[in-house]
Amino acid sequence: MAKKNWIAGAIRKKGALRKTMGVKKGQDIPISKLKKAAGGKGVSKKTEKRATLALTLRKLRKKK
């Protein structure tokens, strides 16, 4: 059985992905930038993992 609050444990440094991607606070990170970073081209391994997590969490969001 999976941990109950695994998302809270996965997000340690809030805003770190935004900072490394060069997106201003309050703006959404474009999906194209996230996909490029998740692919690992020209970014650190840590940023790649954060981008992959961001894409995964995006899928969990409820649609209105």
Q: What is the pLDDT of residues 2-60, one digit of tens each?
A: 667 878 878 888 899 999 999 999 999 999 999 999 998 888 999 999 999 999 988 88
Q: Which of 41, 57, 37, 60 is nearest to 49 (CA)?
A: 37
15: Cβ contacts below 8 Å, ≥ 6 apart: 25
pTM attached to this predicted model? 0.80
